[in-house]
Amino acid sequence: MRIQAALVESAGGPFTVHDVDIEEPRRDEILVRIAAAGICHTDLSTRQVWPPARLPMVFGHEGAGVVEAVGAEVTGVAVGDTVCLSYRSCGRCGNCGSAQSAYCEAGIAALNATGTRTDGSTPLSRDGERVFGNFFGQSSFASHAIAYESNCVKVPGDLDPVLAAPLGCGVQTGAGTVLNVLQPAAGSSLVVFGAGGVGLSAVMAAVSEGCSVVAVDPVASRRAVARDLGAVAALDPADVDDVAAAVRDLTSGGPHSALDTTGRSAVISQAIAALRNRGALALVGIGKPAELDIMTVMTKGIQLRGVIEGDAVPQEFIPRLITLHEQGRLPLEKLITPYPFSRIEEAAQAAAGGEVIKPVLTFA
């Protein structure tokens, strides 16, 4: 079937829309007509370093749409179902069986970040030449995507796909890290370093739990959104001599928990310094190897926790996020800027430059 997809044809190159062909779904696959797709920092950073041998490539891992066809072995969704797409897992290993599919023993990278199915094939082609895809088991920067039961979540048919799309990764990661991992008590304090889509999703979730939240980000517009979402303060790190001291002053001696979305060694060190004794730090940002002050971590009794996808099982957690939105406790619309699919590179540049928080592509 002929579809449209946004290709990256050189490492660091732009997203450009082309006609490509997509195979019919195999016995364990699901064909989804994409209605909306969020652009995530992972899409933008990965295209910069994607191996030239696996180009052209179709990225996109926050898709939402309608099921158009299913393979013979698919039982969890049916043609016509409205779905949100998330990360892929094997569904058979010990971690998947114990509600820890974000740490699938088959390898999250192997299932989500190779550019092919597990057998090395790809469902996409252009003029008979292979186009790499299957990113997060979807490659949703396209009018249609092949997905799987493990990353396909049924959602209400009347849910705006522009709101549904970011639930599959960015919102799930930020809100999940708060609700599933840190689990802050009402009245406790939390600091979020980095107020992009993930960080602001964490802000929303923490505020919904009755926490006192401080956001730290250099972009004024993002700090303004953090305050609008209920953060008690939003700091520009360039405006204070000592970020950790400023956070401690705002939280009566240090926050109970912290979340870093930046993956930057210097910022992680600020988080450790800011936390009160026996505080908890969740790391969700992927970056270069970081140097940590182990003595401070030990003497303060800091709990460090790496987190993938908010420790969320999509089929269980995405409906919870939808309920929070329906209750007015997760106002996702305050983060989203819609763009037509034809303007994908413009949307990507706006996200990379900090002009928008969460661009979501729409398909006619």
Nearest to 200 by CA among 174, 167, 178: 174
pLDDT at 289 > cutoff 90: no
Q: Tell me, what's the pLDDT at 288?
A: 78
DSSP characters over 127-156: TTEEEB--GGGT--SBSEEEEEGGGEEE--
b/e string for 152-163 if b means 16 or more Cβ within 10 A? bbbbeeebbbbb
% of residues, the chain, pLDDT over 70: 100
Nearest to 118 by CA among 22, 28, 6: 28
Q: Tell me, what's the pLDDT at 285?
A: 93
Phi, psi of 296 (to 5 degrees): -65, -40
Give the max Cα distance, the chain.
63
Give, in degrees to the nearest 5, the angle at Cα 244 between 242 and 245: 65
Q: Which tokens sit at 88?
A: 């892929």
- Establish whether domains 2-168+331-362 and 171-310 are of one fold: no
* Structural contact between residues 354 and 24, judged by C-beta atoms closer than 8 angstroms: no
% of residues, the chain, pLDDT over 90: 96
Which tens digits make up the pLDDT trace of 105-158? 988 889 999 999 999 999 999 999 999 999 999 999 999 999 999 999 999 999
Strands 152-154 and 82-85 come out as antiparallel
Give, in degrees to the nearest 5, the angle at Cα 314 between 312 and 316: 85
Using DSSP's 3-state secondary structure scheme, residue 292 falls into coil
* Structural contact between residues 204 and 333, judged by C-beta atoms closer than 8 angstroms: no
| Domain spans in the chain, listed from the N-terminal domain onward | 2-168+331-362, 171-310
Confidence of residue 207 (pLDDT cuts 50, 70, 90): very high
The tokens 């210097």 sit on which residue? 266
Q: Which tokens sit at 25?
A: 């779904």
* Structural contact between residues 190 and 204, judged by C-beta atoms closer than 8 angstroms: no
CA–CA gap between residue 189 and residue 179 (Å, rounded): 14
Q: Tell me, what's the pLDDT at 290?
A: 79
What single letter denotes the amino acid at residue 283?
L
* Structural contact between residues 317 and 294, judged by C-beta atoms closer than 8 angstroms: no
Interval 325-350 mean pLDDT: 98
CATH assignment of 171-310? 3.40.50.720
Q: Which tokens sit at 78?
A: 């049916």
CATH assignment of 2-168+331-362? 3.90.180.10
Residue 5 burial (C-beta neighbours within 10 Å; 0-12, 13-18, 19+): buried
Q: Tell me, what's the pLDDT at 287?
A: 79
CA–CA gap between residue 310 and residue 329 (Å, rounded): 18
Using DSSP's 3-state secondary structure scheme, residue 348 falls into helix
CA–CA gap between residue 190 and residue 279 (Å, rounded): 10
